[in-house]
Chain A
């Protein structure tokens, strides 16, 4: 049975991204850079009402705007609008300005309806219904369960704490916005898409437009991030296609930053009322969660896997969806782990304080996972837990320091077992490896080159990697941290098959390395094309597996007068089986931590209850971690080649918010129960904010 080589030249070492020169010189063409011959700009008119019935849309004046080539409605009328920003119509034209003018010339006849954009408003008995005839609140059977005897167990505990931990709706905000350039002619449809899944994107065109899959080609040479929000077909893609058909020209329809806040996904909020108790020795004994959250208008997941990585013999979990008039949620990097980790890990530290225990000890006592046990010990050493841990709130002075930690698990999907690929080996020794996967910025192309180079005894730069085209053999969507674990065994298999055939054809016993070119030369004039697919490999030393485990430690300084939290250091200890490329792996972890830090301290979609709009559809007030905020990040990787390849994209972001929140608690001795932990909330937790007494008019 095949297994990874024990001695490696490139695998588990650091290889620079093979496409770095293209990216830094601007030769890399993203979806938003595509300039197909005769292309037009496309734009979408969005609802300015959070709820409305649209009875008429007049496009007459729009079509008269100079430069406008087509204008369409998004849906058949009457259209029921359920959130601010819902698509109403679309136009395409020769210039951006023509499109902007055209959008303003569209006449919409709408009847505004009552709405509820905030969870607490939507929960009220007399709240307007987001979906007619359906209550806004629906208890989730899947998210509700009970085991043991909870009500008996709490009185048996030596310490019990209760807390109401909340997390906001978080926006994906990839650097490249959502969008496509689409050309739809009688010959078929080609889309240059900013997508995490070219196959699903193809289906997302073919289905609604009633085209055969064979008529649709999706190309994604480069794309600028998605974090889960670009896994499927899209309204904006279909609108671009329809515009292209009508205007008889390729249409580039990229969303604006404003649009990104409204209609292309988000992480649901959570409002977690947690009660947890432990016996005198710290053993977790009873747990209760009452949680609700909103996936906007969608039925998306709000169910949290609580009590997360801990086993509590007596537990009761009740969870509910709350529909609000806001954009639908989508998968968002490690759904739904970060809110679960934040709240559970916060409750753990609050419980430790009540027990008078060191919170790290409480974790080691209750976390049965051996990998995390190792990781906690390594991380504690790296952050200096013994020297730095002090009782919550005992740090002296105005600017107080603290440390905290949190754990993560990611089962994810492991790998997509249907992943396939091929390679063309030319008589001159050049080789092209082709997979219908896409590189979402994580280094997928580099991973392919590293694996192929290792297997064939070549250098990564000698491998030409082609991905991001539905004409290639099918690959996985890049979600669930499955990409690396899907493609690495596939490339392994392609290379094994290639060597076998090459050796047979050439008569050279070992075609690798120094013999490669001589063997290829013997192919004569016909290139060798070989196919490969994902393989499990030797079950005792699989080529890929799951899950991944990780822990993170945070050290913070909190200014108790201004409330500002400064993250001084993050220590991240992660396991991801066999490391393919250490450099891109560490980049993934850096990115996950920086994103987790944004979740902890800065990010929050703000809805206005009076107008129903998203109030912060920009980077001015939807605040993201900036370079001035990012701390020293120290990464330790457990390399466990015997487990095979495991993805890291998601596990890297799960524990960050919990670790930071606990470090803040350790510093100031008061819990901030809501993310993001803003200066306003820190000052409030410290009891420094005067009570607000005025009555709302």
Chain B
């Protein structure tokens, strides 16, 4: 990789200053080092270690909302006994990410900001649309892992399973932008990737995810993914659902899917349809159909449609405490 300087920031202000120009934040490094080693992004002149920024590794457990710092690791989420009770879907999502070793270093902020896993984007010798080329190879060739929905010519999907789950929980990301804290829904955090080929989220250079705020309004949540393998594999489709259940009826239900769109895939009409409903197989299936409506499968990813329909139904039914 290209030679770079290395610095450790002790405050967010100094982190911003250090990274300004041509720098990159370094936390777990899982995504960044892969990009640098393969020369997939213009190499930064400086890596700014943010692991020592104060307060960002904390979990604050409030009555109405929890705050999870960007430096909290995926492994910590997986092992936190209270998260398992309050946000069981989040725990399940964390437990499916990569391997235990990676989960121990991967951070919430890094998981949210990670780049595309499209195998054309990640390949050192293909210059795809996302890398400034003039062809989306996937659209015309090997697209088994790609999106069913997109708002642009790139079909690489968002793969952050935390983002999928945060979307269902209606969590807000707090991002340091130009010295100010900006609040972004998960839809907001990714909306730029829907429209812009080169974007994989809405973060600008220098933006830093500080923490995620999760309302406790939905006491039931669930996450499920389908993969080629049983462990240490990316989701082909992931699904998260969250709601409050009052007298057997759904309150403020939300469903989100990952790996089928450049953004966590959410259909507001389906959420509204589920509001006040008693969950049963038929209701869940109806919601699933609404969520997948308009999907445009490519040559090799049509299997994601039935897979997604099944996952939505199962995840929703899990909110009842049934698989």
Q: Which residues of A contact B (CB under 8 A)?
A: 48, 84, 97, 100, 258, 561-564, 566, 601-602, 606, 608-611, 613, 615-616, 620-621, 623, 625-629, 678-680, 683-684, 688-692, 694, 696-697
Contact = CB atoms under 8 A, between A and B. Distances in A.
Given A564-B226, A628-B229, A690 B302 contact: yes
A97 B184 CA distance: 40
A84 B140 contact: no
A628 B125 contact: no
Nearest to A50: B125
Contact of A689 (B123, B142, B306): B306
B164 to A, nearest CB: 16
Nearest to B233: A623
B298 A692 contact: yes
A679 B230 CA distance: 11
Given A561-B306, A561-B310, A689-B306, A613 B125 contact: yes
B126 interface: yes
A563 B229 contact: no
A562 B230 contact: no
B303 A602 contact: no
The 3 closest A-B pairs by CB, nearest first: A628-B231, A561-B310, A680-B303
A626 B300 CA distance: 25
Interface in B296-312: 297-303, 305-307, 310-311
Contact of A611 (B126, B229, B307): B126
A679 B228 contact: yes
Contacts of A562: 226, 307, 310-311
B228 A690 contact: no
Interface string B227-261: 11111111010000000000000000000000000
14 contacts: A48-B125, A258-B124, A561-B307, A563-B307, A564-B227, A608-B137, A611-B120, A613-B125, A626-B230, A683-B303, A684-B303, A689-B305, A690-B302, A691-B302
Contacts, number: 106
B144 A696 contact: no
B231 A602 contact: no
A628 B236 contact: no
A693 to B, nearest CB: 9
A613 B306 contact: no
A398 B153 CA distance: 37
Contacts of B301: 680
A689 B302 contact: yes
Interface in B127-157: 135, 137, 140-142, 144-145
B119 interface: yes
B41 interface: no
B33 interface: no
A634 to B, nearest CB: 20
A679 B236 contact: yes
Nearest to A676: B228
Nearest to B137: A610
B125 A611 contact: yes
A691 to B, nearest CB: 8
A333 B141 CA distance: 31
Nearest to A682: B303
B124 to A, nearest CB: 8
Interface in B26-41: none
A48 B126 CA distance: 9
A292 to B, nearest CB: 21
A623 B234 CA distance: 11
Contact of A610 (B141, B231, B303, B314): B141
B269 interface: no
A627 B297 CA distance: 32
B230 A606 contact: no
Contacts of A610: 135, 137, 140-141
Contacts of A680: 144, 236, 300-301, 303
B229 A696 contact: no
Nearest to B127: A611
A80 to B, nearest CB: 19
B300 A623 contact: no
A683 B307 contact: yes
Contacts of A611: 120, 123, 125-126, 137
Chain B contact patch, size range: 35 or more
A626 B1 CA distance: 30
B232 A679 contact: no
A683 B307 CA distance: 8
Contacts of B140: 610, 696-697
Contacts of A683: 303, 306-307
Contacts of B236: 679-680
Most B-side CB within 10 Å, residue of A608, A625, A684, A694: A608
A399 to B, nearest CB: 11
Nearest to A615: B119
A117 to B, nearest CB: 11
A237 B243 CA distance: 61
Given A563-B303, A611-B137, A613-B126, A623 B228 contact: yes
Contacts of B310: 561-562
Interface string B257-281: 0000000000000000000000000
A84 B232 CA distance: 28
B125 A689 contact: no
Nearest to B225: A562
Contacts of B137: 608, 610-611
Which of B3, B120, B310 has the largest number of chain A CB atoms within 10 A? B310
A613 B302 contact: no
B306 A688 contact: yes
A615 B137 CA distance: 11
A77 B144 CA distance: 40
Contact of B302 (A563, A623, A692): A692
A624 to B, nearest CB: 9
Contacts of B300: 680
B118 to A, nearest CB: 10
A680 B230 CA distance: 15
Interface string B166-210: 000000000000000000000000000000000000000000000
Contact of A606 (B126, B142, B314): B142
A424 to B, nearest CB: 45
Given A566-B230, A627-B231, A616 B125 contact: no
B249 to A, nearest CB: 26
A611 B299 CA distance: 18
Nearest to B304: A680
Nearest to B2: A101
A611 B119 CA distance: 12
Interface string B1-23: 10100000000000000000000
A656 B303 CA distance: 26
Contact of B120 (A615, A627, A688): A615
Contacts of B120: 608, 611, 615
Contacts of B311: 562
B297 A692 contact: yes
Nearest to B119: A615
A90 B315 CA distance: 53
Contacts of B305: 689-690
A689 B305 CA distance: 7
Contacts of B144: 680
A629 B231 contact: yes
A4 to B, nearest CB: 43
Nearest to A630: B230
Contacts of A696: 140, 299
Contacts of A258: 124
Given A613-B123, A692-B302, A608 B230 contact: no
A670 to B, nearest CB: 14
| Most chain A beta-carbon neighbours within 10 Å: one of B229, B298, B300 | B229
Task: Among B3, B231, B233, find the residue whose CB has the most chain A CB atoms closer than 10 A.
Answer: B233
B229 A602 contact: yes
Contacts of B231: 626-629
A660 to B, nearest CB: 14
A692 B232 CA distance: 30
Given A97-B1, A608-B137, 18 more contacts: A84-B125, A561-B306, A562-B310, A601-B228, A602-B228, A609-B141, A613-B125, A615-B120, A621-B119, A623-B228, A626-B231, A678-B228, A683-B303, A683-B307, A684-B303, A689-B303, A692-B302, A696-B299
